[in-house]
A and B are shown apart, each in its own frame.
Chain A
Amino acid sequence: MNHRTVPDPGGTHAGGPRALDWSLAIAGGVLLTLMTQANAVLAEHTDALYASWAAHAIGAVVAFVLVATVARRTPPATPPAPPGSSAAAQTATPPAAPGPGGGRMPRWYYLGGIPGALVVVLSAVAVNSELALAGTIALMLTGQVLFGTVSDHLGLLHTPRRRVKPMDLAVAGCVLAGSVLIVLGGA
């Protein structure tokens, strides 16, 4: 089926450009597991704070090298998106707060690293409580999905507002329940 005939803005159709984004997101999860594994080994030999600090330093260097080599060309998603990329246009069209087009970018766009780094410290506290590692991870996954749902629904942090459909909730419910079983189910 040609995906042009079926407009599917923000839908969960697997197919067309959406299938690539799906695969990329799942591959991202695999990368995250590999990162967690390596960081856990490092934390075992040192401590959690140092491990994350070192990983950020190396990550900064690696990302910089990637920019210098892979992403030399100017930033891709400048909002007047080329007509071919439907998904890119989709992110740009709903006017997200102060003009997404030529408007000035808020400074806080640069600060995504802070909440990310804060998690390292706070999760170390939670893991050392009665929750232990499995309980902490299960709750962190739950928090992520809850945030995603609320954020999409309300359009938080300049993200395009998206209607959360029953199917999205069903998918999230299955994945979350399955993940909690995996995390709590032991090896």
Chain B
Amino acid sequence: MLFFVVLALLNGVLIGVSRTVNGRLSTRKGAFRASVWNHVVGFAFLSAILLVLRTWPDVTDAPVAAYAGGVFGALFVAVNSHVFPRLGAMSASVLVISGQVLSAVVIDCVQQRALPAPVRLAGVALVLLGLALPRLSARLRQSEPCPDPSGPN
């Protein structure tokens, strides 16, 4: 069990490494070229794995629309590579995650025509609170007579 926990955490680290490296590349080559390299290199790597594992599924009944994932992926890597070096790894990751989980809740809502479970709603509230925190504290600080010198943001 611990092995899988570490493996899943390591996956998150690998995602961070990938986005950081793509972000570095985008500062030299531009975000769209970074996206090209990410996909070409990733494709070559996965091709090698497919060759080694020799697994090839039956691909005949896959809906064509499902291949749209590649389009979203190309756009995502470009956008993410652009903002990553500008915002820093931590802020960029946190914001992307926010957009990810919030949009997932909305999509589930629409697809299931039902409100999310209470736990999920609490999660949404927490995410929104987190995103609003910098503004909230800025507003609080403005109304205070003597601003706290330790937090200039």
The count of residues in chain B whose C-beta lies closer than 8 Å to any C-beta of chain A is 120
* B49 nearest CB across to chain A (Å): 6
B30, B37, B56, B135: which contacts A76 (Cβ < 8 A)? Answer: B30
Q: Flag A111-124 by CB within 8 Å of B: 1 or 0 each.
A: 11111111111110
- Residues B129 and A126 in contact, CB atoms below 8 Å apart: no
Complex-state Cα separation, A176 to B69, whole angstroms: 25
How many angstroms between the C-alpha atoms of A58 and B43 in the bound complex? 9
22 A-B Cβ contacts within 8 A? A25-B99, A28-B83, A34-B103, A62-B71, A67-B32, A105-B28, A109-B24, A113-B18, A116-B15, A122-B10, A125-B4, A126-B11, A139-B5, A140-B8, A143-B13, A147-B93, A160-B88, A171-B91, A171-B131, A174-B129, A175-B130, A178-B123
Q: A55–B8 contact, CB under 8 A?
A: no
Q: Mark A138-173, 1 if CB is under 8 A from B, else 0.
A: 011111111111011000111110101111101111
Task: Determine the distance from Cα of A70 to Cα of B83 in the docked complex, in whole angstroms.
Answer: 18
Residues of A within 8 A of B30 (CB): 67, 71, 75-77
Query: In the complex, are the beta carbons of B123 and A182 less than 8 A apart?
Result: yes
Cβ of A33 to closest chain B Cβ, rounded Å? 4
A59 lies within 8 A of B133 (CB): no
Inter-subunit contact B133/A167 (CB<8 Å): yes
CB distance from B149 to the nearest CB of A (A): 13
Please give the distance in Å from A171's CB to the nearest CB on chain B.
5
* Interface contact A59-B70, CB-CB below 8 Å: yes
> Chain A interface secondary structure, helix, strand, loop or mixed?
helix
B35–A59 contact, CB under 8 A? yes
Residues of A near B80 (CB, < 8 A) are 25, 28
State whether A178 and B99 are in contact (beta carbons under 8 Å apart), knowing that A63-B32, A109-B24, A121-B49 are contacts in the complex.
no
A residues within 8 Å of B by Cβ?
8, 10-14, 21-22, 24-39, 41-42, 45-47, 49-64, 66-67, 70-71, 75-77, 79, 87-88, 90-92, 100, 105, 108-123, 125-126, 129-131, 135-136, 139-149, 151-152, 156-160, 162, 164-168, 170-187
List residues of chain A with CB within 8 A of the CB of B53: 49
Q: A51-B69, A55-B67, A148-B88 are in contact. Are A63 and B130 (CB under 8 A)?
A: no
Q: Which residues of B lie under 8 Å from residue A10 when comparing CB positions? A: 88
- Report whether B37 and A110 are in contact in the complex, using a CB–CB cutoff of 8 Å: yes
A54 adjacent to B89 (CB under 8 Å) = no
Q: Are B93 and A28 in contact (CB under 8 A)?
A: no
Interface residues of B in 118-144 (CB under 8 A from A): 118-120, 122-131, 133-135, 137-138
Question: In the complex, which residues of chain A have a beta carbon less than 8 angstroms from the beta carbon of B45?
Answer: 113-114, 117-118
Task: Establish whether residues B127 and A179, one from each chain, have CB atoms under 8 Å apart when the complex forms.
Answer: yes
| Chain B, Cβ-Cβ closest to A17 | B86
The residue from B61, B74, B120 contacting A63, defined by CB atoms under 8 A apart: B74
A114's contact among B41, B116, B135, by CB below 8 Å, is which? B41
Known: A38-B67, A57-B43, A60-B36. A148 touches B92 (CB 8 A): yes
B25→A110 contact, CB < 8 A: yes
